[in-house]
Each structure stands twice: as C-alpha cells, then as structure tokens.
Amino acid sequence: MERVSLYIPCYNAKEYINECLHSVMVQSYKIDEVLVIDDGSDDNTIEIAKRYPVKIIRHDKNRGLAASRNTAFRVTKNEFVASLDADCVAGHNWLQQLMECFVSDDIMGVGGKLVERHNLTVADKWRSTHMSQQWGNQIVENPPFLFGSNTVFKKKVIEGVGFYNEKFRSNYEDVDISIRIYNSGFRLIYNSEAEVEHLRKDTIKSVLSTYWHWLHYKHMGGNYNNKISRRIAAMLGNIAEYFEISEDFFQEDLREKTYKLLPIDFLFTFYCAWLDLKQYTRQALL
C-alpha cells in the first residue's frame, strides 16, 4: 500500500471543516499524514481543526487557493498527495477508489466525482445544473481536466511542471495544472466511484460571482493583456461570450423544463458584465 499525504486547503471554513475532517479520519484507505492549509482565516476554523490529529500550516494572509496547494506540495512527505476541499465530505472508500487507478507509471493524477448535497433553492439548483464538477458516471481516461475539489497527484509531476500558477488565486488553477501535465506527456484519470459530497449553499449573487471568477481567471490564462485598449476590447469580447453562455443556459433550461432557473440565466450576462466593469475601473485607478 502506497503512503499518502492528504491536505485540506481552507479559508474561513468553520461551517464545513468538522464534517470534512471527520470523513477523512474514517477513510478505508489509511492516510499517512493530514495537513490543514489555512489561508489566513479569521474565523474559528483552526480551533475546530485542532480537535483532530492533523498538522496545521497557516498563511499570514489570504494568498489564494493555488498558493495553498503549493504550500501543501512543498511540505508533504509522501509521493502521493491527496486533496479534499474544505467544503466537501468524502465517501468512505473515496481515497481507495482513487488510489486503485494508479495502474501505470505515466498516470500522474486521479480525480473523483462531486455531487451536491443542497439542491432545493433556485441558486443551489442552478449551481448543480450549470456548474457541475464531474465528468459523468464512469471512468474517463484523460478528461478535459481534473476538478480540484478532490484529487490525488504524484508530487513529482506537480514539482516537474512548476507547481500551481498563483495568479489563478481561487479558480482555474485546476484546469491550468491539468493542461501542463498533459503537455508533459502524462495521463490523468477520472473515477466516478470516488465520490465526495459538496456542502456549499449559494445565493443568486454568490453563484453568479463564482461563475464570473472562473471565467475571469480563464481569460487571464489566455490573451489577457494589461494595455487599456486591449482590456476594453477584451471586455467587449467577454460580454459577447457571457451572452452566448446565457443563451445556452436558457435553451437548456427550457428544454429540461427547469423554468425556475430562467431568471438567473437572464441575469447572467448583465451581472458578469457589471463585475467586469468594476474590475476594469478598479485597475484603471491603480
């Protein structure tokens, strides 16, 4: 049996960390060390985490999810490094299912399936419908990327591709690292049998903000440029993209008769464009 280190990146996770850590402690696959990477929390996340046999590493300020992941990979002592987001609860055999997929030397990472616990409010239903963090109900070799919420990576590949890019503070870092692993000639696996439950609850504002942040960091990974003229052109291009995404959501919800989601589909373009304008104005004043 391979030795596995597991880390939980967290920031103000007092609502979730207890249930998350409990699920880690009862895994069927023995975990050699558990680390909680606290990214500058100002609630009592750490006080709750101290009830468990974990090593706590604290950032002196909030540096972002990518930085927390890098801290973990720099200090873990084992080659196999598992990650579970603080707002997730792992099934009893989650880690066992992930580890069983490392069947050849060129497989460098395996990710599992995330399912939503909360699905009753319109915002939570919209998230589960349009922000799914899974690739279906089967094993997928080389999926587009591994969602960062629950994974196991070999430490040497994260080091080899230069760690997570910290400019992607809280979104898109999982897509970026997957792309660089693929470009290095390695394989990734998705296993739907390795299941975790997502504990997050959303409002309309928070769910749209989360989607905008994902798109924002995606744009940074592409042709993001600091020149004002190009930023304006990019912002106009973004609005066209938002409208196209909104239209796709609208058509899907009409087709599936999930009519209560239509108002959020309609708001999507306007809200994302407004956040773009706020971002542009803030940067223009710097």
Is the pLDDT at 182 greater than 90, yes or no? yes
- Which helix H or strand E contains 38, and what residues bound it? strand 33-38
Query: Is-contact 49 36, C-beta < 8 A?
Result: yes
Confidence (pLDDT) at 224: 46
Under the banding of pLDDT at 50, 70 and 90, the label for residue 283 is low
Stretch 26-55: mean pLDDT: 97
Is the pLDDT at 128 greater than 80, yes or no? yes
Domain membership of residue 271 as a residue range:
225-284
Confidence (pLDDT) at 237: 73
Confidence (pLDDT) at 277: 84
pTM of the complete model: 0.89
Query: Is-contact 196 113, C-beta < 8 A?
Result: yes
* Residues facing 7 on adjacent strands: 35, 83
From the list 87, 70, 285, the residue with the least C-alpha distance to 168 is 70
Mark whether 107 and 190 lie in a shared domain.
Answer: yes
Please check whether residue 279 lies inside any domain of the structure: yes
Stretch 106-129: mean pLDDT: 96
Please check whether residue 218 lies inside any domain of the structure: no
Mark whether 166 and 263 lie in a shared domain.
Answer: no
**CA separation for the pair 251, 248 (Å, rounded):** 5
Please check whether residue 211 lies inside any domain of the structure: no
Mark whether 78 and 190 lie in a shared domain.
Answer: yes
Domain count, the chain: 2
CATH of the domain at 31: 3.90.550.10
Confidence (pLDDT) at 221: 58
Confidence (pLDDT) at 232: 55
- pLDDT tens for residues 137-169? 999 999 999 999 999 999 999 999 999 999 998
Query: Is-contact 147 214, C-beta < 8 A?
Result: no
Handedness of CA 156, 90, 194, 168 (dihedral sign): negative
Under the banding of pLDDT at 50, 70 and 90, the label for residue 105 is very high
Query: Is-contact 124 133, C-beta < 8 A?
Result: no
- pLDDT tens for residues 228-271? 545 555 666 788 899 999 999 999 999 999 999 999 999 999 99
Stretch 170-195: mean pLDDT: 96
Indicate the range of 24-28, 93-97, 225-229, 282-286 predicted with least confidence.
225-229
Confidence (pLDDT) at 227: 55
Sequence-ordered alpha helix ranges (H) in the chain: 17-25, 45-49, 65-75, 94-99, 122-130, 155-160, 173-183, 204-220, 228-255, 262-284
Hey, how many other C-beta atoms are within 10 angstroms of the C-beta on 94?
Answer: 28
Residue 114, classed as helix, strand or coil, is strand
Mark whether 67 and 159 lie in a shared domain.
Answer: yes
In percent, the amount of the chain with pLDDT more than 90 equals 84
- Which helix H or strand E contains 194, and what residues bound it? strand 187-198
Handedness of CA 60, 63, 64, 69 (dihedral sign): negative
Q: Which of 182, 198, 214 is the last residue of a domain?
A: 198
Query: Is-contact 139 190, C-beta < 8 A?
Result: yes
Please check whether residue 41 lies inside any domain of the structure: yes
